[in-house]
């Protein structure tokens, strides 16, 4: 067996001990003589797994008691519809504000526009989203139902370092590419959501952490399975939940706890990112794509000064087991996604390769 370092943006690398455990107990989970994907979601064993997952997530995130955790279908992008359907009615204007820091915020705004007023209040599009736009939240219209941001911009490699205080207007954050990678003060938010496939497990499901008082306001035409109230009242099981995703997330969270939790992984993530950014900044051969002050610790975007070498870079990297480094086409160049599961050794292997590649081609 040969495992590569997978720098892909998502679905992404998962911790090896998690995959090994899933493999080892795949045919017989919990001594039940069947796989976890064969067990009823209504069984006592599965209910216990779900409850344990709630507890782990709440404890590791440091989630305040006035938040509910919901596991919802359709992963992150389904929330681009669910959020306006559930939250726009908080104010009669049915208006949401978007601080556009990248591709995913733009998509979320376009989807929200189907249900009410979706207003771009700031954008860094003019500089190809290479930074988080400045915005004074005190200038928000008082009749705004919520403010939508993307905390880490997966394509462009930027992140919000500090989050704005939006006062009475709930702040909604898409944290798909960084949930549980750094300490977050959830009191600043009304709703945080993430598709699992980057930092938490397999694709197809999202975790939504929502302030309880924001549940129960959905538009009447909201599909039942997009209504947060439906999930809150049924322990996220109004219908068959993605049992395998819950199981995998449970294992990932236990692994995270073994690493020392979010504060510990945050330190390692900073170290990993610094290693690669230092290698980029040490030479003119490579160029960081994002403004330094807003650099992501999860997705590191860079270009080669000579883009004619891109193909050689990618094929030589792959030959060394450094997989999926090709950047998104809107940025070009390279992207190293280094989520929680990417070990420091993987980042070091990338840096060693980058330096070696420059020596041979520079
Ligand atoms: C990957 C990603 C998404 C899309 O997730 P899906 O699960 O494919 O819907 C949305 N937002 C962000 C920030 C992402 O990184």
Which domain CATH number covers 57?
3.40.640.10
- Where is pLDDT greater, at 329 or 63? 63
What Å distances lie between residue 200 and 225, 263, 341, CA to CA? Answer: 22, 16, 9
Which domain CATH number covers 274?
3.90.1150.10
Residue with CA nearest ligand 1 atom 2: 176
Contacts (Cβ under 8 Å, ≥6 apart) of 175 = 151, 152, 184, 192, 193, 194
For tokens 């726009």, what's the residue?
A: 88
Q: Looking at the structure, do residues 246 and 290 belong to the same domain, yes or no? A: no
Q: Which pLDDT belongs to residue 2?
A: 87
Q: Looking at the structure, do residues 181 and 278 belong to the same domain, yes or no? A: no
For tokens 């559930």, what's the residue?
A: 86
Q: Looking at the structure, do residues 100 and 249 belong to the same domain, yes or no? A: yes
Q: What is the mean pLDDT of residues 209-218?
A: 98
Helical packing angle, 44-61 and 261-281, nearest 10°: 60
Q: Which domain holds residue 129?
A: 17-258
Interval 153-192: pLDDT, tens: 999 999 999 999 999 999 999 999 999 999 999 999 999 9
Q: How far is the CA of 28 from the centre of ligand 1 (A)?
A: 32
Q: Looking at the structure, do residues 214 and 75 belong to the same domain, yes or no? A: yes
Evaluate whether residue 12 is within a structural domain: no
Q: How far is the CA of 353 from the centre of ligand 1 (A)?
A: 29
Interval 92-108: pLDDT, tens: 999 999 999 999 999 99
Evaluate whether residue 213 is within a structural domain: yes
- Number of H helices and E strands in the chain, helices first, is 9, 14
For residue 299, pLDDT over 90 is answered with yes
Q: Looking at the structure, do residues 244 and 287 belong to the same domain, yes or no? A: no
Q: Which pLDDT belongs to residue 1?
A: 76
* Both tokens assigned to 313: 């870079």
For tokens 């270009």, what's the residue?
A: 303
Active site residue 257: no
Q: Looking at the structure, do residues 198 and 133 belong to the same domain, yes or no? A: yes
Domain boundary among 258, 274, 291: 258
Element (H, E) at 288: strand 286-288
CA atoms within 13 A on the CB side of 308: 3
Q: How far is the CA of 73 from the centre of ligand 1 (A)?
A: 13
Its pTM stands at 0.98
Interval 18-68: pLDDT, tens: 999 999 999 999 999 999 999 999 999 999 999 999 999 999 999 999 999
How does DSSP classify residue 27?
Answer: S
Q: Is 53 left (phi over 0), alpha (psi -120 to 50) or beta?
A: alpha
Distance CA 268, CA 138 (A): 35
- What is the domain count for the chain? 2
Distance CA 249, CA 352 (A): 32
Mean pLDDT of the chain: 97
Q: Which pLDDT belongs to residue 176?
A: 98
Domain boundary among 219, 240, 258: 258
Q: Looking at the structure, do residues 243 and 296 belong to the same domain, yes or no? A: no
Q: Which pLDDT belongs to residue 75?
A: 95
Evaluate whether residue 2 is within a structural domain: no
Evaluate whether residue 10 is within a structural domain: no
Active site residue 29: no
Q: Please state the atom number of ligand 1 nearest to the C-alpha of residue 150.
A: 13
Q: What is the mean pLDDT of residues 137-150?
A: 97
Evaluate whether residue 140 is within a structural domain: yes
Active site residue 174: yes
- Where is pLDDT greater, at 1 or 349? 349
The three state secondary structure string of 87-100 is: HHHHCCCCEEEEEE
Residue count of the chain = 362
Evaluate whether residue 52 is within a structural domain: yes
For residue 362, pLDDT over 90 is answered with no
Residue 8 CB neighbour total at 10 angstroms: 17
């Amino acid at each position: 067996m040969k495992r590569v370092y997978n720098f892909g943006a998502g679905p992404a690398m998962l911790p090896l001990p998690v995959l090994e455990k899933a493999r080892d107990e795949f045919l017989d989970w919990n001594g039940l003589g069947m796989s976890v994907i064969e067990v009823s979601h209504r069984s006592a064993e599965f209910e216990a797994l779900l409850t344990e997952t709630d507890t782990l997530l709440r404890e590791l995130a440091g989630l305040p008691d006035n938040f509910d955790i919901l596991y919802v279908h359709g992963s992150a992008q389904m929330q681009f519809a669910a959020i306006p359907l559930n939250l726009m009615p908080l104010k009669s204007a049915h208006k949401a504000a978007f601080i556009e820091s990248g591709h995913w915020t733009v998509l979320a705004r376009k989807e929200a526009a189907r249900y009410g007023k979706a207003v771009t209040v700031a954008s860094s599009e003019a500089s190809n989203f290479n930074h988080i736009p400045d915005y004074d939240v005190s200038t928000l219209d008082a009749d705004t139902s919520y403010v939508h941001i993307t905390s880490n911009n997966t394509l462009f490699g930027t992140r919000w370092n500090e989050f704005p205080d939006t006062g009475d207007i709930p702040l909604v954050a898409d944290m798909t590419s960084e949930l549980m990678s750094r300490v977050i003060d959830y009191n600043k938010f009304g709703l945080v959501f993430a598709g699992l496939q980057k930092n938490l497990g397999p694709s197809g499901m999202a975790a939504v952490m929502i302030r309880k008082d924001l549940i129960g306001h959905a538009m009447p035409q909201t599909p039942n399975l997009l209504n947060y109230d439906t999930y809150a009242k049924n322990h996220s099981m109004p219908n068959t939940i993605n049992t395998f995703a819950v199981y995998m997330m449970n294992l990932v969270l236990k692994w995270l706890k073994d690493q020392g939790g979010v504060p510990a992984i945050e330190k390692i993530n900073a170290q990993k990112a610094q290693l690669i950014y230092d290698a980029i900044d040490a030479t003119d051969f490579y160029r960081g794509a994002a403004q330094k002050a807003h650099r992501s610790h999860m997705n590191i975007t860079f270009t080669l000064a000579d883009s004619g070498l891109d193909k050689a870079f990618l094929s030589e990297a792959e030959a060394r087991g450094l997989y999926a480094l090709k950047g998104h086409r809107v940025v070009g160049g390279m992207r190293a996604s280094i989520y929680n599961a990417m070990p420091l050794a993987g980042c070091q292997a990338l840096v060693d390769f980058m330096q070696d590649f420059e020596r041979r081609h520079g």
